Amino acid sequence: MEQGHTDVTDSCRVVAPILNRIGDKWTVQVVRLLGDGPRRFNEIKRMVDGVSQRMLTLTLRGLERDGLVNRTVFPTIPPRVDYELTDLGRSLWLPVQALGLWAYEHHGEISRAQKAFDKRAGLSEEQPRKIAAAGMAGR
């Protein structure tokens, strides 16, 4: 990638839609699951608890469309379909892992911050979050 580019919004416009894919309700779990090796449809469905088969289908289609997973059909009876990460998918898996690690390390802090925030908001509608002295507004 070209370093030294400059505009924040520029790369953000590229990142945003991808983060939207990644960050949707099921993609991450599926990617992490498949990072472990190829799985078939109902296998995934069982492991990703709570997912409807509709959403799992859509998720896998999206991943396939993005070139992140390979879909392999075995024309047997009953039919069998395997999904596995492509090289691209595996390369995605790494930064996702990093983010997952961050989430895992900090979700305690986050939920504490949330509870503190909710407490402030709940006890008093007019609780000062952080008040700066007037006059130091100039930068």
Three-state DSSP at 71 gives strand
Q: Quick one: CA torsion of 125, 131, 133, 137, rounded to 10 degrees? A: -110
Whichever of 74 and 91 has its CB closer to DNA, that residue is 74
Q: Which amino acid is at 118?
A: D
Residue count at the site for DNA (CB under 7 A)? 21
The contact pattern for DNA, residues 83-122, with x = CB under 7 A and - = no contact, is ----------------------------------------
Residues 28-87, interacting with DNA (CB under 7 A): 40-43, 50-55, 57-58, 60-61, 71, 78-81
118 binds, among DNA, its own copies, none (CB under 5 to 8 A by kind): its own copies
Least separation in angstroms between residue 131's CB and DNA is 12
What is the residue-wise DSSP string for 10-63?
Answer: HHHHHHHHHHHHHTSTTHHHHHHHHTT--EEHHHHHHHSTT--HHHHHHHHHHH
Which residues fall within 8 angstroms of residue 130, CB to CB, at 6 or more apart?
Answer: none
Q: Does 10 bind DNA (CB under 7 A)?
A: no
Q: Residues interacting with DNA, by CB under 7 A?
A: 24-25, 40-43, 50-55, 57-58, 60-61, 71, 78-81
